[in-house]
Amino acid sequence: MEGDPSGDRRFLDIGGDLDGPVRLERGGTLPAVRVAYETWGTLAPDGGNAVLVEHALTGDSHVVGPAGPGQPTPGWWPTLIGPGAPLDSDRWFVVCANVLGGCQGTTGPSSAAPDGAPWGSRFPEVTIGDQVAVEAALADALGVDRWTAVLGGSMGGMRALEWAVAYPDRVGGLFFLASAAIATADQIGTQTTQQTAIRTDPRWAGGDYARGEGPVAGLGTARRIAHLTYRSPLELDARFGAGVQSDGRFAVASYLDHHAAKLAARFDAGSYVVLTEAMNSWDVGRGRGGVEAALGRVTARVVVAGVDTDRLYPPALQQRVADGLGVPLRMIPSLSGHDGFLLETVAVGGLVRELLAP
C-alpha cells in the first residue's frame, strides 16, 4: 500500500494522462495501473533469457528471499531462484509481478483512486485476462518480447496458461501446475463462501472500510475455509487427529487460527474478494470456442503437473489440459494436498529444470 516500505519491489506505471485508461475485459476501466515487480539476474542484450513466475492467490512478487521491511513473509517458493537453482539467476532473468487487484504494490482496492480515497467498492471487476494484459505491458517496458518460459501454480497456473493462449508467439515454454483451464462449481462454491464470510463481517462496510479497520474476522474465516482445501485430509489427520491442546482447542483448530491471523495481518480483504472473483470467472476457452480450441493455440513447449492428493485442483483438471496439449501429466506425490505445489520444491524444481533444458 502507498506509504509502506517497498522492500525489493520495483514499480511501473501503465496508462495515465499520456497513454489513456487501462480498459478491462468486463467493461470497466482504471485511469492508470501501478505494477509492483521483482527481478533476479540480468536481461541478455537480445532479451532472450527472460522467465516469468506467476504467484498464487495470496502470494506476491517476493518469490525468494527473507522477510524484512516491506516483505512481511519470506519468499513463497524457496530455493526456486538463485545461482545454481532451477531458475539459475546466473543464466536467467527472472521476473515476478504482483497481480492486478492485489495488495502488495500493484493497483488494487486498497490503492488510492483519483480522489485520494481508496478504491474500495469502486474497484472494477478484473479477470485473469486483464491481469495478463497488464503483465504484457510490463514485459514490453522491460524489453522482453518473448518469455523463455512462463510458470505458475494454482491461480498462477491460470495466468501462465492465459499467457500461452493469448500470446502464443511470446511464450517459449509453459509450466502449468496444480491448476485448471476453467473454474469448477466446487471451486466457485468454496470461494463464494469465503467471500460471504468477508462480506458479512460488519467491518466490511460494503467494501469501503478505513485502513486498519477492515473485516479481520471475516478474512480470517475465509482463510480457515480456504486452508482446509489447500491441505489433504490424510495430512491433517496424521498431524492433528482429534487432539486437544491445553487451552481446550482442538489442535487442528489452533492450526487454522494461526494461519487466519497470519493472513489477516498481511493481506487486504478487498483484494481477497477481487482475486477470488477473478478465479471464479476463469475460463481459458471464453470467447475462443471452448477450452480445447483455446488449448490448440498453444505453441510453447509444455510441462503439465499436478499433486496426487490435491482436493482443490484434483489431477483430473490437469489431465484435461495435458490431453488438450498432447503431453503427459506429471504427478508430484505429496501428503500436503494442493499446497504440495509450493512445498515439494525438489520435485517442482526438477520439472522446471526439465522444461528449461537445452
> CA gyration radius for the chain?
20
Sheet of 32-40: strand order equals: 10-15, 32-40, 93-97, 50-54, 149-153, 173-177, 301-307, 329-332
Q: Quick check: 87 and 352 in contact, CB under 8 A?
A: yes
Q: Is 310 part of the annotated catalytic residue set?
A: yes
- How far, in Å, CA of 85 to CA of 91, rounded? 10
- How far, in Å, CA of 249 to CA of 179, rounded? 33
CB atoms within 10 A of CB 107: 28
Q: Which of 89, 154, 271, 334 is catalytic?
A: 154
Q: Which of 61, 310, 336, 339 is catalytic?
A: 310
Q: Is 55 part of the annotated catalytic residue set?
A: no
Q: Quick check: 118 and 110 in contact, CB under 8 A?
A: yes
Q: Which of 55, 89, 338, 339 is catalytic?
A: 338
Report the DSSP beta bridge partners of residue 171: 147
Question: 13 is written with which cell numbers?
Answer: 506505471
- Cell 467471500 belongs to which residue? 195
Q: Quick check: 196 and 358 in contact, CB under 8 A?
A: no
- How far, in Å, CA of 245 to CA of 209, rounded? 35
**Residues known to be catalytic:** 154, 310, 338
